[in-house]
Amino acid sequence: MRIGIDVGGTHTDAVLVDNLTVVSSYKALTTRDVRQGIIEALDAVLTDARVQPAAIEAVMIGTTHFTNAVIERKHLSETAIIRACLPTGSGLPPMVDWPADIAEVVGNHSYMVSGGHLFNGKHIAELNDAEIDKVIADIAAKNVNDIAVAAAFSPANAEHEIIISEKIREKIPYANISLSHEIGRLGILERENAALLNASLGNLADRVVSNMRTALEERHIDCPFYVSQNDGTLMSADYIARYPAFTFSSGPTNSLRGAAILSGVENAIVVDIGGTTSDVGVLADGFPRESNSHIDVGGIRTNFRMPDILSIGLGGGSLVQNSGITIGPQSVGHCLVTEGLVFGGDTLTTTDIVVANGSCELGDKDCISQLDRDEVEIATQTIHNMIDDAIDMMRPSEEPVPVILVGGGSILISRKLKTASLLIQPEHAEVANAIGAVNAQVGGEVECIVSYSKIKRETALKELTEEAEQKAMAAGADESSLRVLDVEETTMSYMDDDAARLRIKVVGDLKLT
C-alpha cells in the first residue's frame, strides 16, 4: 500500500491506496509547521483503514508551499544574483522584468561580471578573479547567504558558473547556491529568474522537508519518501531541499492526473481550486498538455519544462474587497477557520460568499447575516467570471469544453460556466492532488551536445536513451514500465562538426519491493 499526500495552502490531503483503489481519504487543515497537518492526515487514513505503518511501501508528497510563497511574496529569503556576461549582456540587467514588490522582497542584490560563453561554447571573456572577489565580499558584508549564479549560454558550457560557485563557497561556506544551468534551459533571463527563485526558497525548503520527514518518523512510517516535481515525476526529499523550484506546478500536475484517474475523462479542462490559488490546465489523452512557451510564476518569466498551467489568485480563503468587485490574490490560507467570518473571524473571504449565497453549508451562517445581498451577488459573479476567463485563455477553441472541478475550493463554483459544455466533480475530487501524487512516476533525464560528424544520430539517441533509462532505474523506476517521455533536439547551426543539443527524458512506474 502507498500513501499520497498533498500539502496545500489551506488543506493537507491524504489518500491510502492499494494499487489504484482508494482505501481511505482525509482532508486536514494545513498547519504553520506542516508537520501537524500531515500527522493528522496520516492518523486518519491509517486508523480508518485499520492499516499498520509497517504495511506502507512508499509515501509520495506534493506541495504548493513554494508556488504560494512566490505568489504571495512570503517566506522568501534575500537573494543575490551574479551574472557572468560582460562586456556583452548588460543591456537587460538581472531582475529587469520582475514585479517591483517581489524584487524588493528578495533584496535587489544584482551583480554583473566578466565571463560567460557564446552559443558555440567559446568564451565571451575570461573570468576576472579580482572582480568576482569584490562582488562576493559585498554580498558577504550584506549577510546574504542565498545566491544565484547565471552565465551566458551556461547550458552549453557551465564552466564559469561552476568556478564562481566554488569561489563563493570558499568565502561563504554556508551559502545556499543555485546554478542556472541546473535549473532552467536556454534563455538567460528566464533561466536566471528560475535560479533566483530557487535560491530565495532555500530556507523555506529546509523547514518544509524537515517537517515532512519528522511527521513520518513520529508515526513510525519507515519507507521511501518522495516529493512530486513539476514534470510529473518524483524526487527524493534531499533533492527537493536543494531544488525547491522544481516543485512549481507539481500540485496542478498531480491534480490533472488525479482528475483524469477519478473522472475517467481524458480530454478536458481541469480547474483545481485550493485555498489560495486556482490552477487551470488542459488534459490531453489523460496527461497534462505541455507548455510550449515560458512559464509565468508569480509574474516572473521562467523556462522550466512544465505543463501548461494558468494560476490565478482565487481560492477558498481569498479576500473579498471593494464591495465584491476585487477578489484575491491575498488569502488567509490555512487560517480560514479562524479568520473567515463564518468561523467567527473578521475577514470577508470567498468561503463566506458561497455560504451567504446558499450554495454551501459551513460554519455559522448567523456570522454573515450583515452582508449586503448585492455585494454577495457581485462577489459570486466575480468568482465565476474569473474562472470563465481563465478557462477561456486555456481552451483550444471558442467551443465550450468539458470542465472537471477538483480541489477543496471547488465549492466556490455553484452556477453554470459559460465556457463549460459539461461540469464534472468526481468522487474524491477534494483529494485529486493526492491521487495524482500517489500515482506519479520516476524519471531520468540526460542532456548534452553531440557532434553528428563524429557519431551517427541514431547511435547518439540510442546511447542517451539508455543512459536516461539507467538514471530512471537508479531513481527507483521499474524497468518493465520505462518509456521515452520526451526527446528535444536543437541544431547548433553555427557550431563546427554538425553539432546538436539533445535532451531525452525517460519515465517509469515506481518499483516497490
Q: How confident is the model at residue 9 (pLDDT cuts 50, 70, 90)?
A: low
φ, ψ for residue 245, nearest 5 deg: -65, -20
| 307 neighbors 232 (Cβ within 8 angstroms) | yes
User: How many Cα atoms sit within 13 Å of 443 on the Cβ side?
Assistant: 19
Taking the alpha carbons of 134, 177, 100, 87 in that order, is the dihedral positive or negative?
A: positive
Q: How confident is the model at residue 87 (pLDDT cuts 50, 70, 90)?
A: very high
Considering the domain 76-200 in this protein, what is its CATH number? 3.40.50
Record the cell numbers describing residue 77, joined without a space: 529569503
Q: What does the pLDDT average to over 377-382?
A: 95
Q: Count CB neighbours of 129 within 10 A.
A: 10
φ/ψ region of 89 (left if φ > 0, alpha if ψ in -120 to 50, else beta) reads left
Q: How confident is the model at residue 494 (pLDDT cuts 50, 70, 90)?
A: low
Whether the per-residue pLDDT at 20 is higher than 80: the answer is: no
Whether the per-residue pLDDT at 336 is higher than 70: the answer is: yes
- Tell me: the pLDDT tens digits for 469-486? 998 887 778 899 998 877
Q: What does the pLDDT average to over 296-312?
A: 82
Task: Decide: pTM greater than 0.85.
Answer: no
Tell which CATH classification among 3.30.420.40, 3.30.360.10, 3.40.1280.10, 3.40.718.10 matches the domain 2-69+206-263. 3.30.420.40
Residue 388 to residues 150, 189, 414, 504: CA-CA distances in angstroms? Answer: 39, 32, 13, 36
| pLDDT at residue 78 in the model | 94
Residue 147 to residues 70, 98, 175, 209: CA-CA distances in angstroms? Answer: 17, 17, 7, 20
Higher local confidence (pLDDT), 155 or 391 = 391
| pLDDT at residue 299 in the model | 87
Q: What does the pLDDT average to over 27-41?
A: 76
Number of H helices, E strands in the chain: 15, 23
| pLDDT at residue 148 in the model | 95
Spell out the domain ranges in the chain.
2-69+206-263, 76-200, 295-430, 440-508
- Tell me: the pLDDT tens digits for 162-175? 999 999 999 999 99
Of 154, 244, 155, residue with least CA distance to 164: 154
Q: What does the pLDDT average to over 50-76?
A: 87
Q: What does the pLDDT average to over 174-193?
A: 88
> Which residue type is seen at 106?
V
φ, ψ for residue 341, nearest 5 deg: -60, -45
| 243 neighbors 445 (Cβ within 8 angstroms) | no
Which residues lie closer than 8 Å to 134 by C-beta, 6 or more apart? none
User: How many Cα atoms sit within 13 Å of 103 on the Cβ side?
Assistant: 14
Residue 189 to residues 295, 302, 336: CA-CA distances in angstroms? Answer: 12, 8, 37
**Secondary structure (3-state) at 124:** coil
Q: What does the pLDDT average to over 16-27?
A: 86
- Tell me: the pLDDT tens digits for 251-261? 778 888 889 98
Q: What does the pLDDT average to over 211-226?
A: 88
φ, ψ for residue 195, nearest 5 deg: -65, -40
Q: How confident is the model at residue 401 (pLDDT cuts 50, 70, 90)?
A: very high
Domain 2-69+206-263 matches domain 76-200 at the CATH topology level: no
